[in-house]
Amino acid sequence: MATNKYDEIAQAAITLFNRKGYHATSVQDIADEVGLQKGSLYHYINSKEELLLEIATKSINGFCRELEAVCEQASSAQEKLERAILHHFDIVIGHLEMTTVLLREAFFLSDDQHQLIKDANDRYLNLWVQIIREGVATREFRGEDPRLTALSILGSCNWVYRWYKADGKKSPQEIARYFCDLHLRGILNR
């Protein structure tokens, strides 16, 4: 399989799924976008659904790898959480089309494939829960429910895909810093 062509196909699918939605995007649309005949496209992909699964899986696995790397570089739970929030924003805003497809379109996968996405999402959520549990154990954070705290943070940070505009009043860094400060003030044990 030609990796460069596959990457081009995946990027075209991300753009089309973002613009038109998964259901409204046809395999022919993707083929047209990359200059292939529909039949030739099947040399690179098995189905539109499998392509969406691959995009979503690659995205979530990237989020996990990045968060693991961020956590290895930080010494305290507070520093880990701060870096995690800032880095999460960097990924969401830096890859807005891919994030939009992940958060909006991946739910259209079949039950079996959606379970794979749910499992990967759970892995990512558990990394956040571990950070918060560590902070509670070291008394850096207050909180009785680390999982609910992690869900709250991720929920608000993920929602940026719905309202962020590149030409808005605040830069991505200012928005990330605001969210970081807001969440840290909410859980720091002071």
In this predicted structure, the answer to whether residue 185 has a pLDDT above a threshold of 70 is: yes
CB 151 within 8 A of CB 124: no
How far apart CA 152 and CA 29 sit, in angstroms, is 37
Q: Tell me the angle at which helices 48-73 and 27-34 cross, rounded to the nearest 10 degrees.
A: 70
Which pLDDT belongs to residue 3? 61
Query: Is 43 strand, coil or helix?
Result: coil
- Tokens 């991946």 belong to 106
Domain boundaries, the chain: 1-45, 47-187
Q: Stretch 85-89: mean pLDDT, rounded?
A: 93
pTM listed for this prediction: 0.88
Exposed, middle or buried, 169 (CB in 10 Å: 0-12/13-18/19+)?
exposed
Q: In sequence order, what DSSP letters do the residues of 80-114 get, joined into one string?
A: HHHHHHHHHHHHHHHTHHHHHIIIIIGGGS-HHHH
138-141 long-range Cβ contacts below 8 angstroms, 24+ apart: 138/76, 138/77, 139/189, 140/76, 140/77, 140/78, 140/188, 140/189, 141/77, 141/78, 141/81, 141/187, 141/188, 141/189
Query: Is 76 strand, coil or helix?
Result: coil
| Residue-wise pLDDT tens digits, 13-52 | 999 999 999 999 999 999 999 999 999 999 999 999 999 9
Name, in order, each residue with C-beta under 8 angstroms of 40's C-beta and a sequence gap of 6 or more.
31
Which pLDDT belongs to residue 2? 45
Task: Read off the pLDDT band of 110 (50, 70, 90).
Answer: confident
Q: What CATH fold (topology level) applies to the domain 1-45?
A: Arc Repressor Mutant, subunit A (1.10.10)
| CATH number, domain 47-187, options 1.10.357.10, 2.60.120.1440, 1.10.3720.10, 3.30.470.20 | 1.10.357.10
Which pLDDT belongs to residue 161? 87
Query: Which residue intervals of the chain are DSSP H helices?
Result: 3-20, 27-34, 38-41, 48-73, 77-94, 96-100, 111-137, 146-158, 160-163, 172-187
